[in-house]
Amino acid sequence: MRVGILTGGGDCPGLNAMIRAAVRRGAIVHDYEFLGILKGWLGLIHGDAVPLGLADVEEILPEGGTILGSSRTNPFGKNALEEVPACEKNFSELGLDTLLAVGGDDTLGVARKFSDRGLPMVGAPKTIDNDLSGTDYTFGFWTAIERVMASIDNLRTTARSHERIFIVEAMGRHAGWIAGYGGLAGGADYILTPEESFSLDEILWSLRRRWEAGYHYAVVVVAEGAEWEGREVFQEDLPKDEFGHVYLGGIGFELSKAIGKALAPEFGRRAGDLTRHVVLSHLQRGGTPCAFDRILGTRFGAAAVDLIAAKKFGYMVALVGSSIVPVEITDAVSVTKKVDRDFLDLAQNFYY
Ligand code: F6P
């Protein structure tokens, strides 16, 4: 049995742990051979692959990123007429019996389409965004939370010293998992997520109350995809990736300016002195995985290979409660998993 593995979409900590576990489980328990497809679906379009043996994965557990490289390539995009047949031809020329696609909704969405066309695919969910349905957590998420929490802890001390308001922009286009969980873990004083639109007035109101209570500093966390009522964003002016997602960014800066403008005179501060913003950006995604992500990546890697052995094609591995279970890839990619109401209510408990 020859198994291809590819990693697509934004990289995340835990991918190498997953690759290592898949190769070891496959080679030792099932006697499978592995080919690493390079740079996600781009590698399948071009037939770029390398053999993956036990020695190749021996030392990669603590490394961030992915030894296979990644890209946001969509073979079903505007060049589908050439790229879909190219993938199918390379699948057969590389001698693959099956392919393990490791990714978020875009990469797994492509796997589902190939699966519908008859290629034997299995999947494993990864993304720091944790917005994939069917699984309680994706690996990469808890490392990102640790990074957001540590950043808030650091920013709070300088915020307190200078009596400032820090706006921390976290990743998360469609769901506020990173902003919400990172914010709660770091004790953020206000959290803004894509789940609920927000107005500037509600934040100003809360910050005024905090000042009145005697706490003359604050950390506000905003997800990059949070919806600010009345903010004009011209989506058509923004660059897009092959899956049609716009490149976000900038909401933290705008919010910092707006809060500074409204509150600096009221708080007796010079314009430009009261607020600062920090875009955490890819610091949330890079570097070594935390223990939870190493273990989840390892469990997913081994379980995905067991799915292949069980011939459960069209399925991906998922974490439900504390068990690893198979779920249909279709179910995982059809709905974005949002942060639930109870969690958002809990976060509000800590606002003024
Ligand atoms: O998909 C994960 C993610 O980190 C998103 O949260 C973020 O919007 C996006 O990737 C950034 O993508 P890129 O690395 O292509 O700039």
Q: What ranges do the domains of the chain cover?
A: 2-140+288-334, 141-284
Tell whether the model's pLDDT for residue 249 goes beyond 90. no
Nearest-angstrom CA–CA distance, 11 and 65 = 6
Catalytic, 293? Answer no
CATH class of this structure's domain 2-140+288-334: alpha beta
Angle (nearest 5°) at CA 247 between 243 and 248: 130
Cβ atoms of 130 and 141 within 8 Å: the answer is yes
Residues lining ligand 1, Cβ inside 6 A: 9-10, 72, 104, 127-129, 171-173, 224, 248, 285
d(CA 76, CA 274): 48
At 237 the pLDDT is 72
Say which DSSP state 246 is in. Answer: B
Catalytic-role residue among 106, 129, 189, 293: 129
* Whole-number percent of the chain with pLDDT over 70: 99
CA of 98 to the centre of ligand 1 (A): 28
Question: How many angstroms is it from 2 CA to the middle of ligand 1?
Answer: 31
Mutate to test the pocket of ligand 1, among 72, 108, 173 (most ligand atoms within 8 A of CB): 173
Is this prediction's pTM over 0.85? yes
* CATH fold group of domain 141-284: Rossmann fold (3.40.50)
Q: Which residues contact 299 (CB under 8 A, 6 or more apart)?
A: 21, 317, 319, 324
Fold match between domain 2-140+288-334 and domain 141-284 = yes
Residue 100 in this model has a pLDDT that exceeds 80: yes
12 Cα: distance to centroid of ligand 1 (angstroms): 10
Ligand 1: which residue has its CA nearest to atom 15? Answer: 10
State in Å: Cα 34 to ligand 1 middle: 28
The pLDDT tens digits of the residues spanning 37-64 come to 999 999 999 999 999 999 999 999 999 9
Q: Is the pLDDT of residue 253 over 70?
A: yes
